[in-house]
Amino acid sequence: MSLTIEQLPFGAMPDGTQTSLFRMTNENGAIAEVSSYGATLVGVIIPDKNGNMTRVVKGFPSIEGYLADLEINSYLGATCGRYANRINRGRFTLDGEDYQLACNNGENHLHGGPTGYHCKNWDARIEDDTIVFSLTSPDGEEGYPGNLKMEVRYGWSITNELSIHYSAVGDKNTPLNLTSHAYFNLAGQGDILEHEMQIFADKFVPIHADAIPTGEILLVKDSAFDFRQPKAIGCDINKDEEQLKNGSGYDHCYVINKKEFGDLALAVSVKAPSTGCCLNVWTTLPGVQFYSGNYLRSDVLSCDGKPLAYRHAFCLEPEFFPDSPNQSGFPNCILPAGEEFDQTIIYQFSTEE
């Protein structure tokens, strides 16, 4: 068998519910860890260019860290939903009805609200070489319409590809935007400013000072947001540009270059020169949110024995665009009743000299 899967205790939720950690080890010794709590990606460990095993995804060693993080809301590695990213003032209109969602980011709704999917204990099972998490979200939860049944499937290959497949069906039309909020540091430690990144996008979504989209889609050309050719994350991050000020760095959605919505496309490539560890992000979704860890911190130690710190990890969150329920010019994020949501993210890890 090319993949070994262990199920380990991960700690108890405040109501006493026990959570689990699933450790997937491929025949080359590389590891991916996921938890039933938040259907969370807890860690990825791969060899660097010198053969040293390097933890390239940030996480906490037990549920206690994630419970403490609810005060900070880093969403470390979590599955975010029902709608990942922000919705302006938590309001939208669908089928002639006005909806008010819980607001947990100033006046706005973020990542599904204060009791979103990131802090639920998902049902879990091992199915062949995949870990399957399932959850039912009831009608009206956090203000959303319809009962929604979801599955998130994690797979880990011999070539260090972490696949995440999302499926869902609801009984009412509903906005739906599920993503992974994984935090990466391909050097394993220190800040991420020397990571070399290429984003396969000619355009991005500008934001107001409260991080809500303006409704425009702008070209990246001649701006700090141009990653069409590889460059260090820190190269332009401190430039005097309004959009960098609005995001306190990079916290923006990029419009992935692809022929058709639903195509599996390469969105981002990243490399840490110090370790040679690389990441390619593939997705069927239309956008990817690049967040440079501008507010990252923790009061507890992560899996590497250190607290999380400012710009010591970055996120690449494949997604529908933020505030899409209120933006007619953005890709349609509404899942019709009875139809299946079927989206895929692949985090492809490798090592170069």
User: What domains appear along the chain, each with residue ranges and CATH number?
Assistant: 3-192+274-351 (2.70.98.10)
- For tokens 């109501």, name the residue: 15
Amino acid, res. 59: G
Task: Measure Cα distances from 225 to 77, 116, 288 in Å.
Answer: 24, 30, 13
DSSP state of 90: G
- Among candidate residues 142, 196, 317, 319, the one labeled active-site is 317
Question: Which of 109, 111, 118, 181 is labelled catalytic?
Answer: 181
Please tell me the predicted confidence (pLDDT) of residue 2. 83
Mean pLDDT of 27-41: 98
Between CA 176 and CA 337 the distance in angstroms is 11
Nearest to 43, CA basis, from 318, 313, 344: 313
Q: How far apart are the first and last CA of the chain?
A: 29
Q: Choose among 201, 215, 307, 285: nearest CA to 250.
A: 201
What are the backbone dihedrals phi and psi of residue 68, each rounded to the nearest 5 degrees, phi first?
Answer: -65, -35
pLDDT at 171: 98
Instruction: Give 306-319 pLDDT, tens digit per residue.
Output: 999 999 999 999 99
Integer Cα distance of 167 and 155 in angstroms: 14
Q: Is the peptide bond before 82 cis (omega within 30 degrees of 0)?
A: yes
**Are 170 and 177 in contact, with CB atoms under 8 Å apart?**
no
111 catalytic, yes or no? no
Contact residues for 339 (Cβ-Cβ < 8 A; gap 6+)? 169
Residue 262: what pLDDT?
83
3-class DSSP state of 66: helix
> Mean pLDDT throughout 145-164?
98
Taking 80 as the threshold, does the pLDDT of residue 1 lie above it? no
Residue 261 contacts residue 286 (beta carbons within 8 Å): yes
- Tell me the pLDDT tens digit for each residue of 261-279: 789 999 999 999 999 999 9
Q: What is the 3-class SS of 32-45, one letter each residue?
A: EEEECECCEEEEEE
Q: Is 340 annotated as catalytic?
A: no
Closest CA to 38 of 65, 8, 3: 65
289-313 residues labelled b (16+ CB within 10 A) or e (exposed): bbbbbeebebebebbbeeebeebbb
Which pair of structure tokens corresponds to residue 316?
């690449």
Residue 261's pLDDT is 78
pLDDT tens-digit map of 221-249: 999 999 999 999 999 999 999 999 999 99
Helix (H) or strand (E) holding 230: none
- Mean pLDDT (the chain) is 97
For residues 92 and 321, the answer to whether their CB atoms sit within 8 Å is no
- B/e letters for 203-242, b = 16+ CB within 10 Å, e = fewer, are bbbbbeeebbbeeebbebeeebbbbeeebebeebbeeeee
